[in-house]
Amino acid sequence: MRDTGIGLTSEELGRLFRAFSQADVSTTRKYGGTGLGLVISKGLVEKMGGRIRAESQPGAGSTFRFTFIAPAAPPVPVPAESSVSVFDNELAVRHPLQILVAEDNATNQFVVGSLLRRLGYRPDFVENGRLALEAIAQRPYDLVLMDVQMPEMDGITATKNLLARTGQGPRPRIVATTANATEDDCRVCLDAGMDDYLSKPIILEKLKQALFRCPSGRSASIKPAMPAPEVPDSDAARAGGRASAFDPAAVEELRRSVDREDLKVLVGLFASDIESSLRELEEGFSRRDFEKMRRACHSLKGVAASAGAMVLSEAARALEDSIRDEEGERAAESLPLVRRRAEEALAELPLLV
């Protein structure tokens, strides 16, 4: 590949394939980017047994060359009839529900929306708890998929405000959605008055079960039906020396849940969200802004879980916990691990499609 850009000096070439590095600090401000693109390219090429190199002169552009070993593609299996019937496009006809999704992350909105649309539903979306309360006041929703942590007003606060407003009267069923999947997190949701619980990544069958537990029509009584939380076993996922940054079961569920074109869009959204969260994390760390770091970790944890990158999600969760517990004093030790896990996930993301 050849370009006719600004070119690079020999010193700048030496920094070219380093993570979070660009030829000039002004480049990020002028052109954007995080300095991860070439690192990801290098990782992909090396995973395929190849090499990548760059040649450049200041003012004369740059040339990038790479080689890799391409094995013969296996024949594409024809799906069995049973494997193509996981979605029931008529479910919304047999079990009609007016659904609101309260979720601040665009990627997670896309994932949930794709799942619901393939079941025949047409959900509405809002970005925080305050907007959720406004939407509920204007339309008789049967079900709200409520993210627990959102800006302006989180899901817990929104649920408490809704209960105070409606009392014993009809209200939508509230299903918590969060990347936190511990028993304590489950209890917090129950105590706040939520009726059900879905951990991220949202599994199709779990979502369908939550839908079936919701009666059609808000006049029906609300009965809590909180399932046991499912904690992703990231240690087990790494057992046996598995090199992949992605959990195979989660990736298979993602491929099963969205069609190929949506998956292509999702991969781009996942990459953008991971890079954005990393930028926020780095900026927060440089300014010792621990609250900004905590928010960035939470966002990174959630989007990584939705993508099936459970090792990255676990690393972000551990860093988030250390910031919450110790005001960021251990962040300097944990941040490099999060960076490394993010680079691994970004390098493998294109392989999901």
As a whole number of Å, the end-to-end CA separation of the chain is 23
Q: What is the pLDDT of residues 113-171, one digit of tens each?
A: 989 998 999 999 999 999 999 999 999 999 999 999 898 999 999 999 999 998 888 89
- Per-residue pLDDT at 182: 74
d(C-alpha 89, C-alpha 127), whole Å: 26
- Taken in order 90, 91, 94, 98, the sign of the CA dihedral is negative
Task: State the amino acid at position 171 in one-letter form.
Answer: R
Tell me the average pLDDT of the chain: 79
d(C-alpha 312, C-alpha 327), whole Å: 21
Q: What is the pLDDT of residues 185-194, one digit of tens each?
A: 888 898 999 9
- Per-residue pLDDT at 190: 87
Write down the CATH superfamily of domain 2-67: Histidine kinase-like ATPase, C-terminal domain (3.30.565.10)
3-state per-residue secondary structure call for 76-98: CCCCCHHHHCCCCCCHHHHCCCC
Percentage of the chain surpassing pLDDT 90?
A: 31
Thinking of the domain 86-229, which architecture would CATH place it in? Answer: 3-Layer(aba) Sandwich (3.40)
Domain spans, the chain? 2-67, 86-229, 256-352
Of residues 110, 165, 96, 107, the one with CA closest to residue 132: 165
- Per-residue pLDDT at 249: 86
Between residues 283 and 23, which one has the greater pLDDT?
283
Q: What is the pLDDT of residues 249-296, one digit of tens each?
A: 888 888 887 888 888 888 999 999 999 999 999 898 888 888 888 889
For 256-352, the fitting CATH number among 1.10.260.40, 1.20.120.160, 2.40.30.10, 3.50.50.60 is: 1.20.120.160
Q: What is the pLDDT of residues 31-57, one digit of tens each?
A: 444 556 677 777 777 777 788 888 887
Q: What mean pLDDT comes out for the span 86-97?
A: 81
